[in-house]
Amino acid sequence: QVQLVESGGGLVKPGGSLRLSCAASGFTFSDYYMNWIRQAPGKGLEWVSYISKSSSYIEYADSVKGRFTISRDNAKKTLFLQMNSLRAEDTAVYYCARDVKVAGPGWLDPWGQGTLVTVST
């Protein structure tokens, strides 16, 4: 079955770095755009970034631009999010999600279970 499993979350000090991974299975990873979305504790969903199938097209939310880098390894069916210069406001559960496009803009399905990132002293 189609599955996404995130890993790499944890506790990090302000200004620190963390690299999240999202392992995909059950589908042809290289055929899909992929996304990162986050959710701060008790808050709503915030779209973070997406990457095209061949990594040629990437977009970021303004809140993470210049600090976070999305990438992918199609051979290893894995999505990454390198997070630098972390701030307290980056504390959230980070989800990866597959972007399903038929013709034009798409939708997110499925989502992984999420990995918690806590930025604190």
Partner 1 sequence: DIQMTQSPSSLSASVGDRVTITCRASQSISSFLNWYQQKPGKAPKLLIYAASSLQSGVTSRFSGSGSGTDFTLTISSLQPEDFATYYCQQSYSAPHTFGQGTRLDIK
Nearer to partner 1, 75 or 102 (CB): 102
The nearest distance, CB 107 to partner 1, in angstroms, is 4
The nearest distance, CB 75 to partner 1, in angstroms, is 26
Using CB under 8 A, list all residues that contact partner 1.
35, 37, 44-47, 50, 59-62, 95, 100, 104-114
The nearest distance, CB 23 to partner 1, in angstroms, is 15
**CA atoms lying within 13 Å on the CB side of residue 67:** 17
Nearer to partner 1, 5 or 12 (CB): 5
Amino acid present at 92: A
Closest residue by Cα to residue 25 from 101, 79, 105, 100: 79
Nearer to partner 1, 12 or 45 (CB): 45
Match 């986050």 to its residue by tokens.
38
Nearer to partner 1, 6 or 80 (CB): 6
Q: For residue 89, what are its two tokens?
A: 């406001």
The nearest distance, CB 39 to partner 1, in angstroms, is 8
Task: Tell me the β-bridge partners of 46.
Answer: 38
The torsion of the CA quartet 49, 37, 22, 100, rounded to 10 degrees, works out to -80
